[in-house]
């Protein structure tokens, strides 16, 4: 059955959750559904790209981090005019907004998706808001099993209304390509250096200070290593300053925002992630699909993505020494062993996180909920 779906997202910038929103919309459209994408804040890079590609994308133009009740009537009008069968919201603020507007509209189904184990990020009022607006949505989905367990455990969502549906990755796009590897390494001029790659915005949750401190320890034993970081963010200058303080500028390369992440992953020898907390990290799925062995902190859904000891190594968060030791261990094993680890990672991702499988889960969920309300097709 084909349906009208309004996807409401907190943002459409450069984050993994933003990417999932657009990829989900694209795949649902390919399957015949009508999809409108709405961002609460002004469109970022991914939102503008989707708009230029012909997607039905709009924004409420809210200021980031600033409550603006004025947008509620605007959203209500949009919903009443378009009459979607489903509102599927993503991330904390969009989830709360979707619940609020349900009071004033007649949307058959509202599904809220959390992309982090701890979306409240320590703010107690957000936990309270989630808990006391739960009755206004049909289901709360989390993209990691760890997230589902936490939400149930602390009482944000009753067990009968919590569900796990993971992020997905395009395994036809993210895959091993020897030609890409050769070309990108040549462009970057890295020679035979061991390349560590980190991709993600400069934000507290990514804990880049941990990355840099661990890498500085690694260089004392293996100076032929290079750390490449692709991303932008408010803390970038702080991280650049830390690199200077540790006198490792010649071994760290800041690439900024990049559109060639597939190539970068092919050019790297291993992937590095030192987050302090996470949901289901998209970048780990992408790295694994590209057959990169992975070092990651054991937070959020990382354990659901990285097979510890098989496709990579997991270490405690906020522990630069443990992170460095795992990195040195990875560099010490043979290239053949690293390739075998990467192959195991890809096999696991293809089996559990492929686009086709996960989008089908979403589609079946939509249909099941709408059938309960006797809504079966376009009106």
pLDDT tens digits, 340-376: 999 999 999 999 999 999 999 999 999 999 998 876 5
Q: Residue 301 is encoded by which pair of tokens? A: 């859904």
Q: What is the mean pLDDT of residues 15-26?
A: 93
Tell me the pLDDT band of 25, cut-offs 50, 70 and 90.
very high
pLDDT value at position 123?
65
pLDDT value at position 127?
85
Using alpha carbons only, give the angle 216, 305, 356 rounded to the nearest 5 degrees: 135
Q: What is the mean pLDDT of residues 177-200?
A: 96
Looking at per-residue confidence, does 98 or 1 come out higher?
A: 98
pLDDT value at position 126?
80
CB atoms within 10 A of CB 66: 7
**pTM for this predicted structure:** 0.88
Q: Report CA 332 to chain centroid distance, whole Å.
A: 30
**Which pLDDT tens digit goes with each residue over 243-285?**
999 999 999 999 999 989 999 999 999 999 999 988 888 999 9
Contacts of 348 (CB under 8 A, 6+ apart): 288, 307, 311
- The Cα 216–Cα 251 span in angstroms is 9
The answer on pLDDT for 120 being more than 60 is no
Q: Residue 55 is encoded by which pair of tokens? A: 């997607």
| Tally of CA atoms within 13 A in the half-sphere of 252 that contains its CB | 26
Q: Residue 284 is encoded by which pair of tokens? A: 């780990």
**Which pLDDT tens digit goes with each residue over 293-329?**
999 999 988 999 999 999 999 999 999 999 999 999 9
């Amino acid at each position: 059955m084909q349906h009208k779906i309004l996807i409401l997202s907190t943002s459409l910038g450069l984050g993994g959750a933003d990417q999932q929103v657009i990829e989900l919309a694209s795949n649902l459209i390919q399957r015949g559904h009508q999809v409108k994408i709405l961002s609460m804040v002004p469109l970022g890079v991914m939102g503008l790209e989707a708009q230029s590609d012909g997607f039905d994308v709009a924004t409420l133009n809210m200021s980031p981090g600033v409550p603006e009740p004025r947008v509620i009537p605007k959203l209500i009008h949009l919903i009443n005019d378009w009459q979607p069968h489903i509102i599927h919201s993503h991330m904390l603020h969009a989830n709360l907004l979707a619940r609020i507007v349900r009071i004033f509209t007649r949307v058959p189904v509202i599904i809220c998706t959390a992309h982090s184990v701890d979306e409240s990020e320590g703010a107690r009022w957000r936990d309270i808001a989630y808990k006391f607006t739960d009755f206004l949505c049909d289901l709360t989905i989390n993209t990691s099993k760890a997230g589902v367990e936490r939400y149930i455990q602390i009482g944000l969502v009753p067990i009968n209304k919590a569900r796990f549906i993971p992020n997905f990755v395009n395994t036809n796009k993210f895959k091993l390509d020897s030609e890409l590897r050769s070309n990108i390494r040549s462009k970057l001029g890295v020679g035979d250096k061991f390349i560590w790659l980190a991709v993600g915005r400069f934000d507290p949750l990514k804990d880049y200070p941990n990355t840099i401190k661990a890498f500085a320890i690694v260089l004392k034993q293996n100076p032929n290593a290079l750390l490449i970081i692709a991303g932008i963010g408010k803390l970038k200058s702080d991280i650049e300053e830390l690199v200077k303080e540790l006198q490792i500028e010649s071994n760290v390369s800041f690439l900024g925002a990049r559109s060639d992440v597939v190539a970068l992953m092919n050019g790297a020898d291993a992937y590095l992630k030192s987050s302090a907390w996470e949901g289901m990290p998209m970048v780990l799925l992408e790295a694994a699909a590209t057959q990169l062995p992975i070092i990651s902190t054991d937070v959020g859904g990382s354990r659901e993505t990285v097979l510890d000891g098989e496709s990579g190594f997991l270490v405690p968060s906020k522990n630069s020494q443990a992170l460095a030791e795992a990195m040195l261990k990875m560099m010490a094993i043979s290239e053949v062993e690293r390739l075998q680890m990467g192959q195991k990672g890809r096999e696991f991702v293809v089996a559990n996180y492929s686009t086709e499988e996960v989008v089908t889960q979403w589609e079946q969920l939509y249909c099941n909920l709408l059938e309960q309300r006797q809504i079966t097709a376009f009106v």
